[in-house]
Every structure is written in C-alpha cells, then in structure tokens.
Structure 1
Amino acid sequence: MDYRITQQPGYTPKIGELVSMLGYTRAVTLEDLEGLSVEDLDFLADEKSNSIGALLMHMAAIEFVHQVIAFENRDLTEQELAKWIVPLELGDKARSVIRNQPLDYYLDELKKVRDRTLSLLESVDDSWLYEERQYDNGVTYNKYYLWFHVVEDETSHRGQIRLLKRMLQK
C-alpha cells in the first residue's frame, strides 16, 4: 500500500491527488474485509445497528449519489432512487433486505461504482473541483467537498465495521 498522496497518471494534478485519496481509503477498507463470511457480513450488534454488508452498500450508494450530483448536477431519478434508497437510509429496511450475500457481491458493487467515478474524473480538470452549487436548502458547496465527503463517509463507516468485527471475535 502506498502511504503517499500523489498525482496520478491520466488526471490533472488535484484530481489525481483526489484519486490517490480515494484509492488509499478503499485499499484500507478492502484489507479490513478479508475473510468475512456471509454470517459476518449480516451480523447485527443489536436491533438498531447496521450490518457490515449494509454499510458497504451504503458506501456504494453515497458514492453513486455524489457522482450524479457532481457530474450531472441533478438528483436521483425514480429508478435510481428505487435501487439506492435502502442502502442510503439504512435502518430497519436495510436490516431486513441487505442480507445473505457473499463478500464478492459487495465488493463488485463497490468496484462498479468506483470504476465509474474514476472514469468520470478523467473528464474533468482541477477547476471543476471548485465549481460551486447550492443544495435545495440554500447551502453552498463545491465539488471538492462532495468528494471529500465520499472519503469521509467511507472512513467513518470503516470504523463501524472494525467495531462490528471486534464484536464478532468475542
């Protein structure tokens, strides 16, 4: 694993650094998932917790939503929302629906979304990161923030995954 944030071939300098951060974050997440069984992925610490599988689908959903917002400047369509609403919201529905899948299922979902992110990032330059928009509530954000949030969200949920894994070991 590379412990440096560096520019990446095929991307402008700042976009490449973002790609480097996304890559490192994902590499650490993948290391933490090695060897997990379906039972491990479905484990619930209590009646209000999320499973590791649900957290992984949430990571994919957050990244997909940020692709749509950042690159298409729109909200999800009804069809997209139908696919992603459960992992986005987590909670009771996710506890009952996101289950009984092997690790490869979740890894494939994460990879599909990430591959699209990397392809889309090849088409923009550093100035794109600083383009500003507003949420419906009037709060201003830039596209750099959106991608920082993708990294932040994955890192946060990886912490939850580590706690769940510790509980599994007891």
Structure 2
Amino acid sequence: MRLLIVAVGQRVPDWAASAYEDYAKRFPPELKVELKAVKTEPRGSKTLEVLLAAERERISAAIPRGARTVVLDERGTALTTKALAARLQAWQLEGDDVALVIGGPDGTDPGLRQAAHERIRLSDLTLPHAMVRVLLIEQLYRAWSLNAGHPYHRE
C-alpha cells in the first residue's frame, strides 16, 4: 500500500520541506509515502470556479486510478489520533493506494470534495499550507506508530 499526499503548491519553506522529509523517511517499506506537488493555478482575473476547476484537473491527474481519495477539508470529519490510526489500519487491510489531497489557497473544487471517498479535517483552525503538509505526515506517522506498537505515540 502507498500513501500519496497530493498537495497544491510547489514551494514550501525549507523548514517545512525538512520536517516533511524527516517524517517521510521514518515509514516502513511496506507503507510507502509519496508527495506529489501540483501547480497552483495563476490567479490573474480568473473566477474562483475557474481556478478551482483547473487545480481539480491537476489533482485528478496526480491520483492513481483505483486509489482511495481522501480530501482534507475544513468541513470534513474530525478525527482523533486513535481514529486516524483505525482508518489507516482499515486502508492497509483494503490494500489500495490512498491519496490524501491538500487543496490550494482557495480550497478544493466542490466536485472533487463530493467525489472523494472521505473528507477529513486536521483542525478547526486555518493553517498555513506548509504546516498542513508537516502536520499531516506527522499524524500519519503517529497513526502508523500507534498501530505498530512503536513507542512514538504516548497516551
């Protein structure tokens, strides 16, 4: 199984890239994590609908056929770490790749959100894009460690 993080936006600060890589390399070989950054649509004088549709096309192209799609969305289901660990375990048992989508500065296209298998939220707070990448991979690692009995997660 592979976890694929599809994130709109190609530039993140060095600290975020470093933190992301630190967690990404901790995953075991049987649970690969891959980041696919897709281009943010240039703003110009385009409508929000046009911007989100263009980003949706890029996101969809980055998601492998047959992958379970999970969109991060402020209106999504709030999960505890234990609940995320249970979801991760279920995803692993299903065996399909899972694509976790982080939208751009304007969010995600409504059609993409509706078509997703799941929508989850990381926080009630609005978070910077770079922070979301780091927070997501840290929580995925924490969920894996909880399932594996690794001492990283403590109650």
State TM-score, norm by structure 1.
Answer: 0.34
Bigger proportion of residues as strand: 2
Structure (1 or 2) with the greater helix fraction: 1
Larger Rg: 1
TM-score under structure 2 length normalisation: 0.37
